[in-house]
Amino acid sequence: MYELIEKKSRFIGYAAKAESESEAKAFISEIAAKHPKAGHVTFAYVLQSTAKTNDDGEPKGTAGLPIYNVITRRNLQNVVVVVVRYFGGTKLGKGGLIRAYGKTAGLAIAGELE
């Protein structure tokens, strides 16, 4: 678990290996269950045969895609990254969200997988 605070919003990142889509989905569900009061549980996973992103209510392309981009820039496969956000009361804008989700994903990957 890796945490970033940005303008009072709390971003918590998790990363794990996943050999199948069912493993990736189980990991996402496990993290979501740990954070029932979170505003957003966003994710991306990259497997050998498929990739998926989810913004979970954030503006399109501001959460799942930045997470996905961090995974692919590091040439990783069979990886799932989940970033949970607790809204802190201040809107970050699209650029702020992209940076926060990407940075949190990078911290989670570096801490868990590298």
Q: Any idea where the domains of the chain sit in the sequence?
A: 2-112
For 2-112, CATH number? 3.30.230.30
The answer to whether residues 82 and 33 touch, using CB atoms and an 8 Å cutoff, is no
Query: What pLDDT is attached to residue 113?
Result: 78
Q: What angle do CA 87, 45, 114 make, to 5 degrees?
A: 90
Query: What pLDDT is attached to residue 1?
Result: 82
Query: Which candidate, 70, 75, 92, places its Cα nearest to that of 11?
Result: 92
Query: What pLDDT is attached to residue 114?
Result: 63
Query: What pLDDT is attached to residue 14?
Result: 98
Average pLDDT, 10 consecutive residues per value, the chain (114 residues): 93 97 97 97 96 97 98 96 95 95 96 79
